[in-house]
Structure 1
Amino acid sequence: MTSIEASPKHAAGPRFGARFTLLLIALLWPAQLLSVIGLLAGNAQAQITVHFQTTQIAWFTLTTALVGTFVTPFVVKAANMYGKKRVMVVITVLGLAGDLIAALATSYSALLVGRGVAGFYTPIAMLVYAISRDVFPPRLVGPASGLIGGGVGLVALGGPFLSGWLVDHHGFRGVLWFLVAATALSLVLLLAFVPESPVREERTRIDWLGGLLLGGGLAAIVYGVGKGAEWGWTGGSTLAFIGGGIVALIAFLVVEGRVPHPMFDLSLLARRQVWTVVLATSLIGGTVFSAGTINQLLGLMPRIPGVSDGLGFTATRLAVIGIPGSVLIVAVAVTAGALARRIDARVLLAAGALCAAAGLGLMALFHHSVPQLVLSGIPFGIGMGTVAALAPIMVIQAVSPSEQSLGNGMQGMAQGIVTTVVTQLIFVVLAQNGRVLQGTQFYLDAGYTNAFWLAAGFTVAGLLAVLLIPKVRRLDEAEVGQAAT
């Protein structure tokens, strides 16, 4: 047994004993592995661009996002019916297979195939947050969710040094093989320490048509946005993919209203406390995580007069520069998770969004030296830590236990779409002030400035969306801990 018991003494202030500490680690690792993948892939993409001599480096991350977007509806539905842990194990195995394909790839196209298969792992984080509500005791759900979300700060702190060591000493191949090992560790932790959730919905026939329309429609829109700069924003192909995706989503709404067992219960989104939380957290979180792409390219791309205005740092030096911001992310995330029990989460989220937007605005103006990057990274780190901790907590506050997977699935899909679209728009803005030399895309200073302003604008939009969120239950009032109790 652990220190979490039903005695009055411990009921007032439960602690993480050995069992729940191991459970926390086993869930934190797969949840933050996506952040690790994003960080390592971002730092490796400069080498990949040069090695494969490609102008299509954006597809290194977009391919994974497209597959993840498509499969998410099916993954969430399967988790609700067959068990969250069981589905988490399945998609982790698929992610491991994709990582192996990518690590062994000898061409850019093969590399993209591997990253595409690895996209099956994308929904893992939303399932982690959903199962944490079930397997931790009630009074540990908030702190556990905050710590799991705040783990992005640990990734931001240690990840750049790991990335720097791998990229500087082992190249992008070292990064790809590390991802294989990291995903394998995730699988071991899930199998060894995570219990199955008892929260299930009735097993029914899967609405394949609805899932295909939803996943396919979202993927088509993301693909069209990603190719817009190449095809032209008013080009027939661009409009066909974006327009076709919108038509598919409309058809999805029609189908879901008629089938006896819909893929998603859309009545959930009819509730103001749900759709506003999904909208605000997705806009803010998706944009904040996308902005890291700008910093990575700015720091790691070479300085070539008239061609590239990158700062030419090594990956290790870039990691050192990011230490203050990373420490803030960890500290703020843990603090925000604890404060959410006593302070209105809407206020905390708005404060975090304001800090993140201010940091991005400062980066747009001041990004030419190490002191400028460090100082502008401080408010951004405060904002990122707040958002990372509060997004899963606010979903818990807005939905019931039986709706948790669906709520996390909707928020995860929405944030994934925002992340993908904003990332692609960042590449579009960068390329507008870029140069192609020997088949490689480089970027000038005006592109970096405009990209930071773009991210700041989307963050402000998320801040405004926070104002729409109605008052919901406090975390202490939410029904949690079905398995643990």
Structure 2
Amino acid sequence: MSQTQTVPPQADDRSRSTTRNVLVVVALLWTVQLVSLVAALSGIAQADVAIHFRTTQIAWFTLMTLLTGTFFLPFMIKGAALFGKKRVLLVATGLGFAGDLLAAVATDYRTLLIGRGLAGVYAATMPIGYAITRDIFPRRWVGIASGILAGGVGLVAFGGPFLAGRLLDDYGFRGVLWFMAVSTAVSFVMVAVLVPESPVRQNAGRMDWTGGLLLGAGVTGLVYAVGEGADWGWGSGKFIGYVAGAVAALIAFLIVERRVAEPLFPPAMTRRRPVWTVLLATSVAAGSLSAVGVVIQLLVLMPNIPHVSEGLGWSGTHNAIVTSPISAMIIVGAVGTGWIARRVDARILLAAGAALTVVGYALATHFHENGPQIVSWGVAAGLGTGMVVAVVPIMIIEVVTPAEQALANGAQNLAQGVAQIVVSQLAFVVMAQHGVVLKGTQFYLDQGFVNGLWLVVGCVALGMLLVALVPRRARLDEAVESPVVQAA
């Protein structure tokens, strides 16, 4: 059994000045929100990347990062507990910079994908960044710092599209890739110079390598099979073999987790009905919403070529201007949900948010020919998205004890990442059924975009229905005041 050593942060940091604390907050804010910013930049750049490299496999431009990020997340979280959170932050940031740099200088698509895959390790900085905040600040600073880190999503949602648009319009996709590399380098320097090491660490313990490798192999095999299924044939022996192998690996992972002394995700926690139902509903709903960007960004940024490509052909800046009201509604939805969650059942908030996005994107299947149409349904979809994003961590708090918080967050991030990867890959497959390959580049007709949107609508609706499985729990204020979770 590992032991956890904790030095009270308020005792260690009493002499740290306010200025120093502010600088640490800035460093962590930059590091944590860079994950979301890079995702936004990647989505906007993917149309130009597909045309430049003349590829029909543009799906992997975003999926490689998601896949490696999901694969390494459990290892990085465990490593942070064993070796120190700052140390693992630096490892993840350093590998992220190496990947971003390789992608920026890549002259062929394969090298670009290798760089994007390596850069995916940086995704682990988000949960670790939030976790280290609780360890290194005086008690009176913890709430302030956590609030600032969470509130930064609003800046990314609103400012990210404008930044990406300007970079793309002025410097092309290379400008976007170089901005990622420089930003990650800045993150590394800020963490190294400003952020102290966490005093909270396990004195002993071992990494569950077998479980992690089985989980990674299962997820990777499943995603790859879905992505190639259209070319192989959905009933082909190759497709069935990959899916069967992936399922076998995931079943083996569950068996291993029941037997190892220190599993990645303790079965005793994940077997409780309140926990697994919350993980299932939030992961499907939020993961599906995260995948909608692959459809919307290609719709608005792909060129309009008669009988070949029926995108809107907008510039990056025009896209940012038109979608700014939607970004504003995401912020409104997130802030409002955080405020009323102490008074309203979180299940209702998740279901309502998912319902708004279902209505919004269902309307999008019919009205997506110009800016006013996109804004009209985007307001509802944006509000619903903000509600879903904000209520996910709240629902986790309501069903686990404080000691289980980090593991539950990690499990939710992992499950949501898997859902996002699978739905994104399916969206590309569905869109390609109504597409045209011209000079090596995959373009999409209008029916392809419509079918992609319907796929997302269906997956989000499934997440909304899964809320019915979640049992009634204490509301947020009750859970915080009396954080006792009963097995159920």
- TM-score scaled by length of structure 1: 0.89
Deviations 1:305-336 (A, max 9, x none): 11111011111101111010111112221222
Equivalent-residue separation in structure 2 for 1:72 and 1:278 (angstroms): 16
Q: Does 1:262 align with 2:263?
A: yes
**Distance in 2 separating the partners of 1:84 and 1:225:** 35
Q: CA deviation at 1:443?
A: 0.6
2:323 counterpart letter in structure 1: G
Q: Which has the higher contact order (CA 8 A, sep 6+)?
A: 1
The answer to whether the 8 Å contact 1:72/1:123 transfers is yes
- The residue correspondences of 1:407-426 to structure 2 (distance < 5 A) are 407-426=408-427
Report what 1:9 is aligned to.
none
1:207, distance to aligned residue in structure 2 (A): 2.2
Per the alignment, do residues 350 and 23 of structure 1 end up closer, same or farther by CA in structure 2, a change over 3 Å counting? farther
Q: 1:359 to 1:18 in 2, by over 3 A?
A: farther
Q: Separation in 1 of the partners of 2:148 and 2:226? A: 34
Instruction: Compute the displacement of 1:398 (Å).
Output: 2.4
* Cα distance, 1:411–1:138 mapped onto 2, change above 3 Å: farther
Equivalent residue, structure 1, for 2:60: 59
The one-letter amino acid of 1:337's match is G
For residues 429-480 of structure 1, what are the alpha-carbon distances to aligned partners after superposition, in whole Å with 9 as ceiling and x for unaligned? 1101111111111111111111111111111111112222223344345569
Offset of 1:220 from its aligned partner? 1.4
The alpha-carbon distance between structure 1 residues 360 and 20, as it changes in their structure 2 partners (threshold 3 A), is farther
Corresponding residue SS for 2:296 = helix
Distance in 2 between the 1:31 and 1:464 partners?
A: 31
Deviation at 1:131, TM superposition (A): 3.9
Residue ranges of structure 1 left out of the alignment (5+ in a row): 6-16, 481-485
Summarize the Cα distance change of 1:349–1:299 in structure 2 as closer, same or farther, 3 Å threshold.
Answer: same
Shift of 1:345: 2.2
In structure 2, relative to structure 1, the CA distance for the partners of 1:89 and 1:402 (3 Å cut) is: farther
The equivalent residue for 1:11 is none
Q: Distance in 1 between matches of 2:84 and 2:338?
A: 27
Aligned residues of 1:153 and 1:328 also touching (Cα < 8 A): no
How far is the alpha carbon of 1:24 from its aligned partner? 4.7
Take 2:203 and 2:37, find their aligned partners in 1: how far apart are those partners?
35
- 1:385 Cα offset (Å): 1.2
Aligned length: 465
Alpha carbons of 1:384 and 1:269: their partners in 2 closer, same or farther (altered >3 Å)? same
The aligned residue for residue 332 of structure 2 is: 331
- For residue 157 of structure 2, what is the amino acid of its counterpart? A
* Cα distance, 1:341–1:84 mapped onto 2, change above 3 Å: farther
Superposed displacement of residue 219, structure 1: 1.6
- Quote the offset at 1:191 in angstroms: 3.7
Which stretch of structure 1 is more off in the superposition, 130-139 or 446-455?
130-139
1:13 corresponds to: none
Q: What SS does the corresponding residue of 1:365 show, helix, strand or coil?
A: coil
- In the TM superposition, what whole-angstrom CA distance separates every residue of 1:399-455 from its partner, at most 9, and x where no partner exists? 223322211111111111111111111111110111111111111111111111111
Q: Secondary structure at the match of 2:343?
A: coil
Q: Which moved more, 1:41-50 or 1:199-208?
A: 199-208
2:170 is equivalent to residue 165 of structure 1: no
After superposition, the C-alpha distances for 1:12-71 in whole angstroms (9 at most, x for unaligned) are xxxxx8676655544333333222112211111111111111111111112222222221
Separation in 2 of the partners of 1:390 and 1:465? 15
TM-superposition CA deviations, 1:267-288 (whole Å, max 9, x none)? 1111122112211221111111
Indicate if the aligned counterparts of 2:265 and 2:411 stay in contact, CA closer than 8 A: no
Q: 1:331 to 1:192 in 2, by over 3 A?
A: farther
Structure 2 counterpart SS, 1:322: helix
**Following the alignment from structure 1 to structure 2, what is the Cα–Cα distance between the partners of residues 114 and 137?**
38
CA distance in 2, matches of 1:26, 1:473: 35
Structure 2 residue ranges without an equivalent (≥5): 1-9, 11-17, 482-488
Q: After superposing the two structures, state which structure 1 stretch, 468-477 or 446-455, moved more.
A: 468-477
Map Cα deviations across residues 342-401 of structure 1 (whole Å, 9 max, x no partner): 333222222211111111111112111111001111011101111222222322332223
What do residues 69-100 of structure 1 show as CA deviations (whole Å, max 9, x unaligned)?
A: 22122112212323333322211111111111
Which deviates the most, 253-262 or 125-134?
Answer: 125-134
- What is the identity, as a one-letter code, of the residue corresponding to 1:411? Q
Question: Structure 1 residues 112, 165: CA separation in 2 closer, same or farther (over 3 Å shift)?
Answer: same
Tell me the residue number matched to 1:92.
93
Residue 417 of structure 1: SS of its match in structure 2? helix
Deviations 1:167-209 (A, max 9, x none): 1110111000000122123223434554544544452222221
CA distance in 1 between counterparts of 2:224 and 2:400 reads 31
1:300 corresponding residue in structure 2: 301
The one-letter code of the counterpart of 2:309 is S
AA aligned opposite 2:55: T
Deviation at 1:110, TM superposition (A): 0.9
Partner residue, 1:291 = 292
Matched, 1:235 2:236: yes
Q: 1:265 to 1:115 in 2, by over 3 A?
A: same
State the alpha-carbon separation in 1 of the partners of residues 473 and 25 from structure 2: 26
Contact 2:82 2:204 in 1 (8 A): yes
Residue 240 (structure 1) shift: 1.9
Q: CA deviation at 1:213?
A: 0.9
TM-score, with normalisation over the residues of structure 2?
Answer: 0.89
The equivalent residue for 2:470 is: 469
Equivalence map 1:5-20=2 (5 Å): none
- The amino acid of 2:176's aligned partner reads V
**Structure 2 Cα separation of the partners of residues 304 and 119 of structure 1:** 33
Q: Where does 1:393-404 land on structure 2 (aligned, <5 Å)?
A: 393-404=394-405
Q: For 1:139 and 1:345, how far apart are their aligned partners in 2? A: 27
Residue 285 of structure 2 corresponds to residue 313 of structure 1: no
**Counterpart code for 1:169:** D
CA distance in 2, matches of 1:380, 1:52: 32
Q: Provide the rounded CA distance (Å) in 2 between the counterparts of 1:298 and 1:115.
A: 23
**Aligned-partner Cα distance in 1 for 2:131–2:397:** 8
> Secondary structure of the residue that 1:106 maps to in structure 2?
coil
Q: CA RMSD in A?
A: 2.4
Q: Provide the C-alpha distance between the structure 1 equivalents of 2:399 and 2:143, rounded to a whole number of angstroms.
A: 14
**Structure 2: distance between partners of 1:210 and 1:428:** 30
Answer whether contact 1:49 1:57 (CA < 8 A) is retained.
yes
State the match for 1:442 in structure 2: 443
Given the superposition, is the C-alpha separation of residues 201 and 354 from structure 1 closer, same or farther in structure 2, using an over 3 Å criterion?
farther
Q: Which residue of the partner structure matches residue 181 of structure 2? A: 180
Match of 1:32 in 2: 33
1:221 aligns with 2:227: no
After TM superposition, the structure 1 stretch with the greater mean CA deviation from structure 2, 197-206 or 416-425, is 197-206
| Equivalent in the alignment of 1:81 | 82
Structure 1 residue 254, shift from structure 2 partner: 1.8
Answer with 191-200 or 161-170: which moved more: 191-200
Residue matched to 1:12: none
CA 1:151–1:406 in 2, change beyond 3 Å: closer, same or farther? same
Partners of 1:327 and 1:121 lie apart in 2 by 27
Q: For 1:50, give the aligned amino acid.
A: I
Name the CA distance, whole Å, in 2 between partners of 1:422 and 1:195.
39
SS in 1 for 2:312: coil
